[in-house]
Amino acid sequence: MKSAKRIAAKLILLFTAMIVMSAASSENGVESLRQTSKAFAAVARKVSPSVVSIRVEGNTSSTRLTPFDDEWPFDNDFFRRFFGDDFPNAPRQKRSQKPRSNRRVIGQGSGFVFKTGQEALAGKTYLLTNNHVVKNAGKISVQFKDGREFDAKVTGRDPHSDIAVIEINATGFASLALADSSAIEVGEWVVAIGNPFGLSHTLTAGIVSAKGRTSVGINDYEDFIQTDAAINPGNSGGPLVNLDGEVVGINTAIFSRSGGHMGIGFAIPSNLANTIATQLIEHGEVTRGFLGIVVQPLTSELADMFGVKSSRGILVAKVAENSPAEKAGLRQGDVILTFRDQPVTDIGHFRNQVALTPPGKQVSLTVLRNGKTQLLRAKLGELTEDRKAAQGDEGSASEIGINVQTITPELAQRFEARSGEGVVVTEVKPGSIASLAGIRAGTIILQANKKPVNNAQAFEQAIKQSASTKRALLLVRSGDMQRFVALAW
């Protein structure tokens, strides 16, 4: 009996302890949430005074009244800009044309006071934003959280990275520090602050979903931070900050079906923004390094064709005449493994590395050629509008099915080719490997299996010689784009 009483007493004590522990655990959980809440509030207090709402007025000759006036006429998801031009290269539905007239366009965006790391010109404050926010501006005004409003003007714009710097003739504002964006990790908390839908100084929180997004197709030079922090039209140009209140990125674009937040947003990393903005302030423009090659991804099929054991690196599809690349000894078919002693992981990363290297600088490249690595050195030139090297698209493989024709003088003039150099594709069988690999009627085939094909007979012979292996490597050109295509059937 006494034993039973002791057991019952112990059970009561254990049950009481569990209740106390549960209550303590619950209180700890609530306290943890309170601390998180206070952290976000601290970020808002620190950052908000440096963030501005940007109002842009301008005249445009257009049938549209605002950048959001058109419907988005596709069933698939597309990236949409917050303000300004629509997503690049996306066609629009044709509408009945009305007489075009100059209309007053009013748009809104965001920005923040930018610290360049050096003394600003006397009496001026520089603010960072997106190029697409201010590119068509006739008049720009910015408003701070305390209600003060100022007229602003453009210091410099860079359409290729979508970065712009604007300035106001006033001082005394707190600037935001830029963090090292390369150090931020996927999963970290971030906060977006801006002017979504005209609602000034709105704060939203989320995490870093991914880093190094280089093939989104929004800007010429990309290295986006992806986040699920809610950002919407009007957030464009505003800061994405860490919990220390330091800027890790500039909110730039969203992935959306409706034009609103769907959990995927993109921000230009602060390291890239800092480099571009500093040049805009100091020189009014951006200079970029120029190598002079066309490159394409090294797919597993292409790696096999070129005898490369892995798909690391990128493939050189074309070397421009008299370019720094040609002078350094780069050749068509080389696989670039490193640039400035850094591994080359993809085309976007490589383009950024070259572009951000100052013109005139000597750089090293490790290339794989005929199964052997070589170290080359090149002196970069300056990238100008007429020297842009487009990046090649990725080739894929499936079954052949094309008709070709020798290039006559008439065809050479029509397709901007050289008579007797290559063959022109006149027909592509739907569903064939050529079709799946992106070959279209009008494509010029310059080589087959690394040998020039100067007439239709030479091309047909090259394909017949590939019958035993059922593989062919083509060098093709469409417009100004030149690339290798690996076919297997």
Please identify every residue annotated as catalytic: 132, 162, 236
Q: Which of 215, 260, 214, 219 is nearest to 89 (CA)?
A: 219
Torsional sign, CA 434, 436, 441, 447: negative
Q: Give yes or no for a contact between 420 and 407, defined as CB atoms under 8 angstroms apart.
A: yes
